[in-house]
């Protein structure tokens, strides 16, 4: 309010005609249920005169509210229709203003809560929910119930549990014969091709140990280009010089052939056949 009684209003800071109208009422301590329509209408029209130079879209809502105020003022000056003597033309406007004020207050509180949360927590923080404590029911068990339950418990007897693990024997002589027979026929063989016919890990371990033993005796040579690359078995210098048989016999642990050695020899023949196909 200026010194000459004029009310200065900046329309840019309001979010609509209801916001401006509520500002005019609250700044002058006017009872919202007894609005002086003539004075408020004049002040509202003076406040929106600056909107004459702006776009129609921005001024449309304010002009509509001005028309509503003028219509209410005219209805208050004219005699009320029969049966509506007690009806106040300002009632609908008062209802809209109270509703808008309530929504604006809720929005301001939510914005303040958002700003306060933003100062204390990072974006996306979800506060953990407190665990609801289970209601503690009073104990209603008597000593007679405890004794009866204890008598129903049977003492654990001694149980003789025997667990036998049957292991499948993989003979070293079987893997030695497999490697020697394969490199004699194919000159070289990849380690993966030798163990391909079997899925058990023990066959791979024993094949590798047999290859290392034959490599130590110069029966085969082991080659690998780099770490973790395929391992290859090549003919060694002691395989075809006439001493291959004796070296093989020593590597096989020459001795009496029992049933296990015969079974191992049959498995070596089967593995050599599959490895020969892979090498070819």
Q: What distance in Å separates the CA atoms of residue 273 and residue 275, rounded to the nearest whole number?
A: 6
Residues 186, 275, single domain; the answer is yes
What confidence tens digit (pLDDT) does each residue in 208-231 have?
999 999 999 889 999 999 888 999
pLDDT over 80 at 53, yes or no: no
Percent of the chain with pLDDT over 70: 73
From the list 58, 53, 271, the residue with the least C-alpha distance to 181 is 271
Q: What distance in Å separates the CA atoms of residue 56 and residue 256, rounded to the nearest whole number?
A: 113
> 240 and 247 in contact (C-beta within 8 Å)?
no
Q: What is the CATH number of the domain that holds 196?
A: 1.10.10.580
25 in a structural domain: yes
The phi, psi pair for 109, rounded to 5°, reads: -70, -40
Sequence length of the chain is: 280
Across 130-147, average pLDDT:
77
Q: Among the ranges 11-25, 123-137, 231-245, which has the highest mean pLDDT value?
A: 11-25
Residue written as token pair 């003028």: 70
What confidence tens digit (pLDDT) does each residue in 67-95 have?
888 888 888 888 877 776 677 888 888 89
Q: Which domain holds residue 25?
A: 11-78+87-110
Percent of the chain with pLDDT over 90: 10
Half-sphere exposure of 207 (CA within 13 A, CB side): 27
Q: In which band, very low, low, confident or very high, does the pLDDT at 269 lie, cut at 50, 70 and 90? A: very low
Q: Among the ranges 55-69, 77-91, 106-120, which has the highest mean pLDDT value?
A: 106-120
Across 250-261, average pLDDT:
43
261 in a structural domain: yes
164 in a structural domain: no
Q: In which band, very low, low, confident or very high, does the pLDDT at 2 lie, cut at 50, 70 and 90? A: very low
35 in a structural domain: yes
Residues 188, 265, single domain; the answer is yes
- Count CB neighbours of 17 within 10 A: 23
Across 268-276, average pLDDT:
49
Q: What is the dihedral of CA 245, 249, 255, 256, to 10 degrees?
A: -60
pLDDT over 80 at 234, yes or no: yes
191 in a structural domain: yes
- Count CB neighbours of 20 within 10 A: 22
Residues 21, 106, single domain; the answer is yes
Across 193-222, average pLDDT:
89
259 in a structural domain: yes
Look at 164 and 211; give whichever has higher pLDDT.
211
Residue written as token pair 């020969």: 276
- What does the pLDDT read at residue 109? 93
Residues 179, 103, single domain; the answer is no
Residue 12 burial by CB count (10 A; 0-12/13-18/19+): exposed, middle or buried?
exposed
Split into its structural domains, the chain has a count of 2
Residues 180, 99, single domain; the answer is no
Across 172-176, average pLDDT:
87
196 in a structural domain: yes
Residues 96, 185, single domain; the answer is no
- What does the pLDDT read at residue 66? 84
Residues 176, 274, single domain; the answer is yes
- What does the pLDDT read at residue 5? 52
- What does the pLDDT read at residue 70? 86
133 in a structural domain: no
Give one DSSP letter per residue of 41-86, joined into a string. HHHHHHHGGGGGGS-HHHHHHHHHHHHHHHHHHHHHHSPPPTT-TT
């Amino acid at each position: 309010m200026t010194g000459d009684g004029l009310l200065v209003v900046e329309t840019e800071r309001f979010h609509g005609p209801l916001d401006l109208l509520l500002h005019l009422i609250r700044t002058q301590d006017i009872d919202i249920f007894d609005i002086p329509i003539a004075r408020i209408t004049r002040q509202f029209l003076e406040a929106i005169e600056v909107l004459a130079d702006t776009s129609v879209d921005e001024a449309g809502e304010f002009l509509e509210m001005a028309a509503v105020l003028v219509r209410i003022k005219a209805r208050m000056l004219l005699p009320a229709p029969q049966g509506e003597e007690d009806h106040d033309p300002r009632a609908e406007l008062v209802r809209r203003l109270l509703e808008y004020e309530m929504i604006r207050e809720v929005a301001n509180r939510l914005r303040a809560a958002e700003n306060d949360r933003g100062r204390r927590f990072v974006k996306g923080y979800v506060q953990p929910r407190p665990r609801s404590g289970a209601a503690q029911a009073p104990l209603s068990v008597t000593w007679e119930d405890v004794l009866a339950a204890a008598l129903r418990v049977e003492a654990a007897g001694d149980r003789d549990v025997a667990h036998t693990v049957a292991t499948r024997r993989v003979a070293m002589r079987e893997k030695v014969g497999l490697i020697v027979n394969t490199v004699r026929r194919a000159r070289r063989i990849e380690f993966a091709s030798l163990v391909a016919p079997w899925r058990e890990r023990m066959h791979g371990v024993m094949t590798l140990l047999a290859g290392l033993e034959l490599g130590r005796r110069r029966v085969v040579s082991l080659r690998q280009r780099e770490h973790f690359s395929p391992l290859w078995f090549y003919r060694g210098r002691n395989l075809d010089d006439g001493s291959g048989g004796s070296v093989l016999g020593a590597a096989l642990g020459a001795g009496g052939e029992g049933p296990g050695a015969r079974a191992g020899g049959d498995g070596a023949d089967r593995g050599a056949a599959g490895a020969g196909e892979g090498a070819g």
